[in-house]
Amino acid sequence: MNEKILLLIKPDGVRRGLTGDVLSRIEHKGYILENLRMHAGDLSGLLDEHYAEHIDKPFYPGLKKYMTSGPIVAAVFSGARVIEGVRSLVGATDPTVAAPGTIRGDFGRDWCSGALENIVHASDSVQSAEREIKIWFS
C-alpha cells in the first residue's frame, strides 16, 4: 500500500538551516518527495486548523507562538509504510530523550523556551495525513 505523510519542518528547524538535512534523510530512506512548500507570514489560521484538537488546551498559546515564530516548510512524502518509516526517522517527540540517529535525537534539544522545539511534525496516521495535507496544500 502506498501511503502519504505530511512533514512540517518547524520554525526552529528552518531557522537553524536544517531543512535540507531533514529532507535528505527521508529521501535517502527511499521515500518520494511529492510536494514542497514554504509557508511564511500569518500562519494563525493554518495552525488553528492543524491543531484544532489542542486549541482549548493550556499549552496551545505557547505552541502557537512558537509555530508562528518563523517560516515553516511543509512536505508530502509517499511510499510503502511511509508513516511508520518517517516517524521512526523523526524519533521521540521529546528531543532530550529522542534516540541518537533520529532527526530529533541528532538535531533537537530542550531550549527552555516554554514550547517543545522539536524540529519537525510528522502525521501519525493515514487519516491525519489526509486531513493535514489538505490543510497545508489546499
Indicate if the pLDDT at residue 41 is higher than 90. no
pTM score of the predicted model: 0.94
Q: What is the pLDDT of residue 131?
A: 97
Range in 5-9, 27-31, 106-110 the model is least confident about: 106-110
Angle ∠(100,16,43) on CA atoms, nearest 5 = 110
**45: phi > 0 → left, psi -120 to 50 → alpha, else beta; which?**
alpha
More confident residue, 80 or 113: 80
The predicted pLDDT at position 112 comes to: 77
* Residue with more model confidence, 113 or 109: 109
Least confident of 14-18, 50-54, 111-115: 111-115
Buried b (16+ CB within 10 A) or exposed e, 10-20: bbbbbeeebbe
- Split at pLDDT 50, 70, 90, the class of 113 is confident
Distance (Å) of CA 52 to CA 4, 32, 64: 21, 28, 11
- Whose grid coordinates read 509517499? 78
Active site residues: 121
Round to whole Å and give the CA distance between 28 and 20.
12
Q: Which domains, and CATH codes, for the chain?
A: 2-136 (3.30.70.141)
Nearest of 88, 89, 63 to residue 10 by alpha carbon? 63
Q: Say if residue 116's pLDDT is above 80.
A: no
